[in-house]
A and B are shown apart, each in its own frame.
Chain A
Amino acid sequence: GAGVSQSPRYKVAKRGQDVALRCDPISGHVSLFWYQQALGQGPEFLTYFQNEAQLDKSGLPSDRFFAERPEGSVSTLKIQRTQQEDSAVYLCASSFGGAGGNTIYFGEGSWLTVV
C-alpha cells in the first residue's frame, strides 16, 4: 500500500485479555518503530526494528509487551494480560533509512481501550 497500515484501528479489550496489533510498513522500508500515545500526551517510543532485528526495546513499559518482525516486513505488537493503563493509541512508523525524524512515516494508529 501507499502508507503505513495498522490493524485493527479500534480494539476494546477486557482487562486481563491478550491483544495483538499489526503493522504493515511501507514496502521497502528497513526501519520500523512502535510508539504509544496516551490521551493528552505526546507519542512515546516503545521499540525499534531494523529489518527483523529488534535493536532497541528500551521503551517497552513491562514484560507484558512484546514486539516482533520475523521476516523484516510486517510487525506485531503483543500486549499480554492487558491493564487499564495500557489504554492508548499505538502508532507504528517506518522509514527507508534510519531514525532521522524527517524520513519517518506514521500510520493512523490502533486505538486500544481496556475495560
Chain B
Amino acid sequence: DQQVKQNSPSLSVQEGRISILNCDYTNSMFDYFLWYKKYPAEGPTFLISISSIKDKNEDGRFTVFLNKSAKHLSLHIVPSQPGDSAVYFCAGWRAGSYQLTFGKGTKLSVIP
C-alpha cells in the first residue's frame, strides 16, 4: 500500500526551462509534505515543504503546489540548472508521528 506515489521514474529538461515533478498521495492524514533532493552516494537533503492547509509555498527557484481535493502536489523548478540533476523524493508527514513516508523518487536530468 503505497501512500505516496511518484509515477514518473525520470524526467529530462533543458537548462533554463521549467521542471515539474509530480507526487500523489492516498493518506489524507498527512499534515506536511516535503521534497528531498538526493545526489548519488549522498543522503537526502531537505528542499522545501508545504503545510496541508496551504496551497503554495515558494523558496527561490523552487515552488511547491498542493491540490488537496486531487491529493496531488507538484514541485516546480524554474529556471532549471544542471546542478539540479538529482533524484527528488516526495514525502508525507503526520504531526505527532516519528516517520516520513517517501515516494520512490523521480530522477531529474537537466541538459545543458
Contacts and interface: CB of A to CB of B under 8 A. Distances in A.
Contacts of B82: none
Given A41-B104, A45-B101, A102-B34, A107 B46 contact: no
A42 B102 contact: yes
Interface string A86-110: 0000010100001111111111110
Contacts of B32: 100-101
A55 B42 CA distance: 27
A44 interface: yes
A105 to B, nearest CB: 8
Contacts of A59: 99
B77 interface: no
B98 A101 contact: no
Contact of A40 (B34, B43, B44, B104): B104
B18 to A, nearest CB: 24
A65 interface: no
A83 to B, nearest CB: 22
A29 to B, nearest CB: 14
Contacts of A104: 46, 100
A10 to B, nearest CB: 10
Interface in B62-112: 89, 91, 93, 97-105
28 contacts: A33-B98, A33-B99, A40-B104, A42-B91, A42-B103, A42-B105, A43-B44, A43-B89, A44-B102, A45-B100, A45-B101, A48-B98, A55-B98, A56-B98, A56-B99, A91-B43, A91-B44, A98-B98, A99-B93, A101-B32, A101-B34, A101-B46, A102-B34, A102-B49, A103-B46, A105-B43, A106-B43, A107-B43
Interface of B: 4, 6, 32, 34, 41-46, 49, 89, 91, 93, 97-105
The 3 closest A-B pairs by CB, nearest first: A106-B43, A42-B102, A45-B99
